[in-house]
Structure 1
Amino acid sequence: MPLSKIMNIKHLFFTTLTGVTLLLIPSAVAQTSSASSSTSSRIIREAIATKRINWGLRQDSPPISFKDPIGGWEGFCTNLTDLLDKYLREKQFINNDINIVRYPISIQDRFKKTRYPYQDSLHLAGECGSDSIRKNETGITFSHVFYATKTLLLIRKTEEAKFSFLKTNSLPNFSSNSKPKIGVINTSITPDRLQSFFNSLLSEMEIVNIQGGRSQLIDALVDKRVDAVASDEIILRRILKELDLETPNEFYIDSELVISYETYGLILPSDDSKWVQIINDFFINKKYDIQLLTQQYIIPPSPPSLFTKKLIFILLMIIATLSGLSWVGYMYWVRRQNFRSEIKPNLDPKTPIFANGYALLIGVGESDYQPLSLPVTVKDIQALHQVLVDPNFCAYPNNRQHIRLLHDQEATRSKILEQLNWLKQQAEANPEATVVVYYSGHGWFSKSQNSYYLLPHDINPFDLESSSLSAEDFTNALRHIKSQRLLVIIDSCHAAGMATAKKAPSDFKEIPIPESVINDLSQGKGRVVFTSSQGEESSWIRPDKQMSIYTYHLIEAMKGEGNQAHENFVKISHLMKHLSHQVPVSARTLCQEEQTPYFSVEAEDFPIALLKGRRPKIRQQGVKSD
């Protein structure tokens, strides 16, 4: 049978399979799961005992599942596990004390930690990633199908002629050195699919097994060790998108040459049939939510028509023209008004305000021990206070019942704890409170005590441990703030002042707040912790010494630089988006140093301020601070 007819039959099969996939998760399947019967599940019993459900996610297969540059989970599987978590609570399989904990897995160690009986110290209740359903292996089983896709080739355009014989009835005439080379991940099932599809033609090409994962597959293609790579269409589309950023129009996906059809599902331990039933019922109950996720992450958008493209171009030209006129008008208004930077209080009761916003801004500034003074931290909190109470931006109520500053002689250990208690009282009085705690100053780690300390104004260099604010005391005070939305921002590893602190004990080291402390701080519902740097990095001051790099970009984000034009609130995600991109760039450009913000988010995305206007940014250049 000619290859073209085979491909037509396969296309018909795929169309049918996709339809069946969406109907395979139907209301026709009886639902028998219930909270009362869930205890017969080994996974649920262990979750009740350990207060957690361990779940594996592939960290290297976007858009299905991956980690972003700052270590956060992204992709379809991340949202699917969030949906599963909510479902298990809705059905009362688990209570609020139990959490799904994500663990990274690679293509090399998939199944290893899920296979029952467990062969690894880490026991997973399931895995989600770019894993196709196949025959159940020993110790594992697969869930219902949640998506169907195709195995295709991503080809270098200059080598396109080498693959033309696959679409014709003619046999190739390659020399041993000119055979087309197809790269595959060695631990995947793609080699088997190639073997099955090409069969007798397999001798006319060279299959190159690539050790590693997706990144190594891309490297082999870019380095010209292979002429094409084979994988499922979802992964290939993402690879092509990344390649086009560096080398546009050098590669293409051959959507006509369908090597095989694949169905996706979750990987589960084979011993717990009740758990498998719970998961399959989850796919049935949440089929519409899951379809929305596939549309968001997996299904490619339809290409715009020629008419749509022309309409978009016309609209962009109109927007550009109006933007230019608006800018000219704005500059004229600024000059006429002799615009001043002082912020006027919000006196108009008709003007919307962020009425439930509360903030404590701590900038240690002057220290009793002069070498540890950091004047720029006072400028940081004053600038942050200014944008928070600006009625044209964040619109926090401009009074001491909603926002307070501690700096210089006021930023003592006792005062900090006292004002944290004030926040506790405000949160108790207002269940809708959104609370921000910002600390900028030195933070030191004691190796002998294995403890982290924030250094307030009244620090005694001869008795750092007793005169500092320990992370434990700081965390305990924050835990008493029962707000549903709490953002803690810590800028505690300033490069300035470190070398001059000669009286510090030898076992004290200035480092960013450790991840273990961050984890303690972020415990509880609605808790988010930001730090300005991580690892061995320092937190750098802008060359003009008017503000730290981190706070400069935090204020930009509070003014909406991470938002879309139509959005009226600044959310946690907007801050993260802007800070994660801009801080490393500025640190390298202005200071020739590395600085990477860290985010610990144990809450759903929530608004942190209003967004009522924007002002143009003023970019400044300079050199590294002292």
Structure 2
Amino acid sequence: MNTREVIEVDEKTPFAGWHALVVAVANYAQVPVLPRSILNDAQDVVSTLTSAAHCGYAQQNVKLLLDTQATLDAIRQELDALAARAQPSDTVLIFFSGHGARLGDESALVPVDCDTHRVAQTTLLEQEFSTALARIKAERLVVLIDACHAGAAASFKSIGATLDLGFNEKSLNQLAQGTGRVMIASSRATEYSYALGGARNSLFTEHLLGALRGGARTQGDGLIRVFEVFNYVSERVRHAMPGQQHPIFKASDLEDNFPIALELGGVKRLDATSAVADSGKVWRQLEEILSDLYPAGPQDQELWLRAGGDISRLRLGGSGRATWFAALRTLRQGGGGAEINQNSLIDSALQDFPHHQELKNLANGS
């Protein structure tokens, strides 16, 4: 596969391997009402995901549950539908904006029909949510939770319930258990998620949309990856609300900085299906080649620096092969320096070994 080749992406046939469930509740019956921006967030996420000019999700693969639609039963049914539909090679994105609740050490997502006198029975508890995620066969799963909104009541205690609003980090760690599973929350458990005055979207979702619409740094291959999305969102949210809102990222077994959307921005982009399928093979080949050509590791002949990397971002030690394994894993996960990517690393190696056939094959995608 040619990692640099661009092809026509027909907007009538978007990439079928991505699925999304988007849930937002603002107008609760028994729970404090949230701003209109919560509903805008969900609608704008759906329109961006399904836009042929942006993320390229198939319309039929994206489900929106908005306000009265977002009952506990409906959320359960859509999670079951994802488990039935998504294949191992697919990517699943779940976005929830609304109230979160803390019941002792456990957290829960609050659906529109939450009964404040039967909270444990009428919310999506952490353990049930984790079990539902585990049933989804997709090897890449991202959950984005925006569940501690400024302007909401500090707790349910004023209306007779015995739980606090929010979503704790222990619960995020629990939900992040599993290979390829990522949890991103809009703020720490002790913070609020803000919407600036007059803004259409919450601060977190405003920058999430910016990342998905092309703002996030990419590797130039037509794909938007999860680490770049989080880095983009986190930097801008923290800058807008210094010391007050810090998005958090949780993952327990993540080896790859995997794509979550197409970066279209025009009609010519990479074939995403092939890119996802072949990326692991390309990285393994590159590790073997670089270990042979640069046995001292990434610092050998200043290769990492020349490719745009920052050697101080790497953990150097052990043999050259072990060092290359660690360095390339860091690069796959979005680290190693602001300017380095797979293509720049191959190009820099080719400057030293212009007639190396295996390197040339990687550069040409053959």
Pairwise TM-score range, normalised by the shorter structure = 0.5 to 0.7
Q: 1:371 to 1:576 in 2, by over 3 A?
A: closer
Q: Is the 8 A contact 1:372 1:501 kept in 2?
A: no
Secondary structure, counterpart of 1:539 in structure 2:
coil
Alignment of 1:261-276 (within 5 A): none
Q: Indicate the residue corresponding to 2:58 in structure 1.
A: 397
Q: Give, as a single letter, the amino acid of the residue that structure 1 aligns with 2:30.
A: Y
Secondary structure, counterpart of 2:143 in structure 1:
strand
Secondary structure, counterpart of 1:524 in structure 2:
coil
Query: Quick one: distance in 2 between partners of 1:500 and 1:510?
Result: 5
Deviation at 1:499, TM superposition (A): 4.7
Q: Indicate the residue corresponding to 2:68 in structure 1.
A: 409
Q: Indicate the residue corresponding to 1:362 in structure 2.
A: 23
Secondary structure, counterpart of 2:52 in structure 1:
coil
Query: Quick one: distance in 2 between partners of 1:364 and 1:443?
Result: 11
Q: Indicate the residue corresponding to 1:198 in structure 2.
A: none
Deviation at 1:501, TM superposition (A): 5.0
Q: 1:351 to 1:468 in 2, by over 3 A?
A: closer
Alignment of 1:119-518 (within 5 A): 349=10, 353-369=14-30, 371-399=32-60, 402-427=61-86, 430-447=87-104, 450-499=105-154, 503-505=158-160, 507-511=162-166, 513-518=167-172
Deviations 1:228-261 (A, max 9, x none): xxxxxxxxxxxxxxxxxxxxxxxxxxxxxxxxxx
Q: Percent identity?
A: 29
Deviation at 1:515, TM superposition (A): 2.2
Q: Indicate the residue corresponding to 1:80 in structure 2.
A: none
Q: Is the 8 A contact 2:150 2:193 kept in 1?
A: yes
Alignment of 1:525-544 (within 5 A): 525-544=179-198
Deviation at 1:506, TM superposition (A): 6.2
Query: Quick one: distance in 1 between partners of 2:164 and 2:157?
Result: 12
Indicate whether 1:594 and 2:244 are aligned.
yes
Query: Quick one: distance in 1 between partners of 2:93 and 2:25?
Result: 17
Q: 1:463 to 1:573 in 2, by over 3 A?
A: same
Counterpart of 1:610 (choices 245, 262, 272) is: 262
Structure number, greater radius of gyration: 1
Q: Is the 8 A contact 1:353 1:396 kept in 2?
A: yes
Q: Give, as a single letter, the amino acid of the residue that structure 2 aligns with 1:380.
A: D
Alignment of 1:543-554 (within 5 A): 543-554=197-208
When the two structures are superposed, what TM-score results if normalisation uses the length of structure 2?
0.65
Q: 1:370 to 1:527 in 2, by over 3 A?
A: closer
Q: Indicate the residue corresponding to 1:569 in structure 2.
A: 223
Deviation at 1:352, TM superposition (A): 6.3
The unaligned stretches of length 5 or more in structure 2 are 1-8, 267-366
Deviation at 1:462, TM superposition (A): 2.6
Alignment of 1:7-26 (within 5 A): none
Higher relative contact order (CA 8 A, sep 6+): 2
Q: Is the 8 A contact 2:218 2:225 kept in 1?
A: no
Figure out how many residues of one structure are paired with residues of the other and give that number.
Answer: 256
Deviation at 1:612, TM superposition (A): 1.0
Query: Quick one: distance in 1 between partners of 2:178 and 2:32?
Result: 37
Q: Is the 8 A contact 2:16 2:57 kept in 1?
A: yes
Secondary structure, counterpart of 2:241 in structure 1:
helix
Query: Quick one: distance in 1 between partners of 2:249 and 2:66?
Result: 25
Secondary structure, counterpart of 1:435 in structure 2:
strand
Query: Quick one: distance in 2 between partners of 1:487 and 1:567?
Result: 21
Deviation at 1:373, TM superposition (A): 4.1
Q: 1:612 to 1:351 in 2, by over 3 A?
A: farther
Deviation at 1:496, TM superposition (A): 2.3
Deviation at 1:600, TM superposition (A): 1.1
Query: Quick one: distance in 2 between partners of 1:370 and 1:535?
Result: 19
When the two structures are superposed, what TM-score results if normalisation uses the length of structure 1?
0.39
Deviation at 1:351, TM superposition (A): 6.1
Q: Is the 8 A contact 1:354 1:609 kept in 2?
A: no
Indicate whether 1:578 and 2:232 are aligned.
yes
Q: 1:459 to 1:351 in 2, by over 3 A?
A: closer
Query: Quick one: distance in 2 between partners of 1:481 and 1:378?
Result: 26
Query: Quick one: distance in 2 between partners of 1:437 and 1:398?
Result: 15
Deviation >6 Å, runs of 4+: none
Query: Quick one: distance in 1 between partners of 2:181 and 2:27?
Result: 30
Q: Is the 8 A contact 1:364 1:374 kept in 2?
A: no
The unaligned stretches of length 5 or more in structure 1 are 1-347, 615-626
Q: Is the 8 A contact 1:446 1:508 kept in 2?
A: yes
Secondary structure, counterpart of 2:107 in structure 1:
strand
Deviations 1:147-200 (A, max 9, x none): xxxxxxxxxxxxxxxxxxxxxxxxxxxxxxxxxxxxxxxxxxxxxxxxxxxxxx
Q: Is the 8 A contact 1:445 1:508 kept in 2?
A: yes
Q: 1:384 to 1:606 in 2, by over 3 A?
A: same
Query: Quick one: distance in 1 between partners of 2:218 and 2:66?
Result: 34
